[in-house]
Amino acid sequence: MASRTPARVVAIPLGLILAAAFAVRFWGITFGLPHTEARPDERAIIDVTRSFLSGNFTPYFFDYPWLYMWVLSVLYFLYSLWGIVTGTFHSVADFVASWPVAWTPFFLINRSLAAVLGSLTVIPVFWIGRRLWNDATGLVAAFFFALTFLHVRDSHFGTTDTMMTLFIVLSIAYLVEAGISGRRRHFALAGLMAGLAGATKYTALVLPISMVVSQALYAIERPAGRFKAFIGE
């Protein structure tokens, strides 16, 4: 059971951990630049989003699903609107055309998206630890995740990894909640998060296996009405 620790006692250290997660992921966000091939996948992702903004909604690119690129395209579009308002660009097409000579915003917006998503993953990590054990466990888990080297490193690059990881952790968090509550809504949300993870990177397509196992275990623990338990209450 989750502990009854006063919310403020938990919120303050969690807020500090979250701030640390943001700090280490944004520190050195310009790594490798102006060498645009420091992480080649970034260039491929940016090319797809530029294609979207140019009106080509079916680019011949299937190395990754397109969810991350669509989200990034929205951010680029908002940035181009801001540029139009401030007089930097005359149109969205003008922003897209600026790529060969002013590529810095393309990389920094992309990397910032990855850094924000990576930092926010601290919250569901805390929630999983809290629901399975207690607040202290959740805080310790969040602290170690916030400073995990591999995740921090990958959060510096505008690729699909951090978005996929966030959706995977959210899916697991809802599975944990579903295992405790048995509510169909939580299983459905776990499925939604798993689907979004798979729409971000193909690696996450194995995640539904965990969902089936979770449902099966929930049903096994309830000898009476197992079929009802399996489909959710």
| Tens digit of each residue's pLDDT (9 = 90 or more) over 121-135 | 999 999 999 999 999
Closest to 64 (Cα-Cα) out of 46, 38, 37: 46
pLDDT higher than 70, residue 228: no
Scored b (16 or more CB within 10 A) or e, 83-101 reads: beeeeebeebeebbebeee
Torsion of CA 158, 23, 126, 153, to 10 degrees: 40
Predicted pLDDT at 1: 40
- Please state the rounded mean pLDDT for residues 185-191: 89
Question: Is the predicted pLDDT of residue 218 greater than 80, yes or no?
Answer: no
- Whether 167 and 196 have beta carbons less than 8 Å apart is answered as yes
| Between 49 and 3, the higher pLDDT residue | 49
What is the CB-side half-sphere exposure of residue 229 using CA atoms within 13 A?
Answer: 17
User: Once rounded to an integer, what is the mean pLDDT over residues 173-192?
Assistant: 87
Q: Are 175 and 214 in contact (CB under 8 A)?
A: yes
Average pLDDT for residues 20-33, to the nearest whole number? 95
- pLDDT class for 111, splitting at 50, 70, 90? very high
Q: Is 58 helix (H, G, I), strand (E, B) or coil?
A: coil
Using one digit for the tens of pLDDT, what is the confidence trace for 31-90? 988 888 888 899 999 999 999 999 998 888 888 999 999 999 999 999 999 999 999 999
pLDDT of residue 223: 58
**Cα separations (Å) of 130 from 125, 149, 167, 212, 213?**
9, 23, 18, 23, 22
Q: What's residue 13's pLDDT?
A: 96
State mean pLDDT over 210-232: 62
Q: What is the pLDDT averaged over residues 215-227?
A: 63
pLDDT of residue 229: 47
pTM: 0.87
What is the per-residue pLDDT for 224? 55
Do residues 174 and 190 make contact, with C-beta atoms less than 8 angstroms apart? yes
Contact 153, 37 (CB under 8 A): no
Which of residues 2 and 183 earns the better pLDDT score? 183
Q: Is the pLDDT of residue 219 over 80?
A: no
| pLDDT of amino acid 8 | 79
Helices 7-26, 122-132: axis angle to 10 degrees equals 140
Does the pLDDT at position 2 exceed 70? no
- Band (pLDDT 50/70/90 cuts) for residue 137 is very high
